[in-house]
Structure 1
Amino acid sequence: MNSEVITVGLLHPGSMGAAFGAQLRRRNVRVLWCMDGRSSRSRARAEDAGLEGVQNLAQLVARADVLLSLCPPAAAVDVAQQVAACGFDGGLYIEANAITPHRVREVSGLLPGTVVIDGAVVGSPPVGGKQPTLYLSGAPDGCSQVASLFAASDVKPHVLGAEVGTASALKLSYSSYQKVSRILAALAYGVADANGVADELVKIAGKRGGSYLTETGYIPKTASRAWRWGPELDDAAALLREAGLPDELMRASSGVLHQWASARDRELTVAEALALLHVDHGREGHDEP
């Protein structure tokens, strides 16, 4: 695949998507995005990344050789349905969202004339020298084409095999551990803080290398990303059920994230983030008639 004559349609320019688009632009790949219904923040990210806007999804689908789907996990199948309704056929569709292998195969079934590649991003957006890995699985030729798109960029492709769903299984396995660990760290710090021993907790954690308990500044970041992380953990719970493993911990973690729903993309202090988790157990079940 000659990157200089390929047109990629990006769905959509969030923080990860815009950063991926910028990496492609540095390799002279033409990158389109759909402006219809998108926020001013999306527009600003797209402009900063050097992406070319089109008015609607039909125009994007008609002009793109490759579609890269990087959207909130809960919307992944809906986005694929919209693409299918626009008649995308014969191109390459990279399903790079954190969803279950079953849902990736559902996306593939929606696009029967398209090569669907299962993609999974592990790591932070490729900004400021950060180099996330883009795990790939699916048709070997398709995986090779995707890998060539990102050659010599800060996105590092890694092909896992020919079965669609393998990359997503790896992503959910890793991200479920990582995200639940962040949630547990926030709750542990919250209960320590409520009892006046937060500083001592951090000192104890500091004696062990790499403990999330020492990264208290990440608590507000977890809160602001909860709207995306919750659906991802719901998919992780579904994957556990499919494997015959207990899913209660994952579903409970998703429930904690739901309490942070109002924190979407907000800049909070640690105290403000923890306050959103407080539950008044004394009032539960005692509403006056």
Structure 2
Amino acid sequence: MSEIALVTAGEMGAAVGAQLVGAGHRVRWLPAGRSEASRARADAAGLEAVERLPDSTEVLLSICPPAAARQVASQFASLDVVYVDANAVAPATVRSLRVAHLVDGGIVGGPPTADSGPRLYLSGERADAVAALFEATTVQTRVLGPDVGTASAMKACYAAWTKGSAALLLDVARLADALEVAEPLRAEWEQSLPGLPERLAAAERSATTKGWRWVAEMQEIAETFASSGLPDGFHRAAAEVFGQP
């Protein structure tokens, strides 16, 4: 049994925590300043609420909105723990975190359930040890080597397409509405691009509930492109799309 702590208990964090509890680990979290919804999720997941992390904590798992990743890490810079940053940030962002023992993480897929789970990409010198924590869970770990930043690079490349293309589709639909050609465009999609109207509907649903946190993720992806000498305008525009009401 390992002693693990979660910074927050959002939908993903609480579900990951529940898997770790089910695997026999002791999982704590910090409820100060969190919503009643987070507290309810944490209780349902079997997480132990504490005011401060005990010295026995071995692993601290950060799963939070990407815009908060740096601030969250700074709060725990003095702790001698393995700090897993599993947030959707640029490789340069995760490398900038000043924590004791940093493991880079990137989650692909939705919150884990009893039957299935996401892929958790990991990189860093202690990535194998973190992966071992999830052996009896539905979270599927993929260790990508010893370099911090590799897991975040994998996540950025994946989301650059999935969420970036969703933003483009949303913007095309808004353009068609503005030009009053939405009806014939959707009819053409049904004929020549079957499945696209359904994908648009899914993108609209997701953007309604999660678009606010995707703004920062698109900005992080844009930084990833720019740092590689590639055009970054696609995802800066995607951030604008997700930031629109």
The TM-score, its normalising length taken from structure 1, stands at 0.78
Name the residue aligned to 2:153: 169
Structure 1 residues 19 and 200: alpha-carbon distance in aligned structure 2, compared to 1, 3 A threshold: same
8 Å CA contact 2:62, 2:87 repeated in 1 = yes
Name the residue aligned to 2:165: 181
Name the residue aligned to 1:88: 79
- How many aligned residue pairs are there? 244
8 Å CA contact 2:94, 2:149 repeated in 1 = yes
Shift of 1:138: 0.8
Shift of 1:203: 6.1
CA RMSD of aligned residues (A): 2.0
Structure 1 distance, partners of 2:244, 2:200, is 21
Structure 2 distance, partners of 1:214, 1:178, is 11
Name the residue aligned to 1:201: 186
Name the residue aligned to 1:278: none
Aligned pairs (5 A) from 1:135-284: 135-139=121-125, 142-193=126-177, 195=180, 197-198=182-183, 201=186, 204-205=189-190, 207-208=192-193, 211=196, 214-260=199-245
Larger Rg: 1
Structure 2 distance, partners of 1:202, 1:43, is 46
Shift of 1:12: 1.1
8 Å CA contact 1:180, 1:250 repeated in 2 = yes
Structure 2 distance, partners of 1:177, 1:117, is 24
Structure 1 residues 205 and 64: alpha-carbon distance in aligned structure 2, compared to 1, 3 A threshold: farther
One-letter identity of the residue aligned with 2:16: F
Structure 2 distance, partners of 1:72, 1:245, is 25
One-letter identity of the residue aligned with 2:211: A
- 1:144-177: CA deviations, max 9, x gaps? 2111110031100001111110010110111121
- List alignment gaps of at least 5 residues for structure 1: 261-289
8 Å CA contact 1:61, 1:83 repeated in 2 = no
- 1:240-265: CA deviations, max 9, x gaps? 111111111211111121223xxxxx
The TM-score, its normalising length taken from structure 2, stands at 0.92
Matched, 1:66 2:51: no
- Looking at both structures, which has the greater relative contact order when contacts are Cα pairs under 8 Å and sequence separation is at least 6? 2
Shift of 1:13: 0.7
Shift of 1:54: 0.7
Shift of 1:204: 2.2
Shift of 1:217: 4.0
Structure 1 distance, partners of 2:229, 2:140, is 32
One-letter identity of the residue aligned with 1:88: L
Shift of 1:62: 3.1
Structure 2 distance, partners of 1:160, 1:31, is 25
Shift of 1:209: 6.2
8 Å CA contact 2:8, 2:31 repeated in 1 = no
Name the residue aligned to 1:21: 17
Matched, 1:131 2:107: no
**Which moved further from structure 2: 188-197 or 75-84?**
188-197
Structure 1 residues 51 and 207: alpha-carbon distance in aligned structure 2, compared to 1, 3 A threshold: farther
Shift of 1:189: 2.9
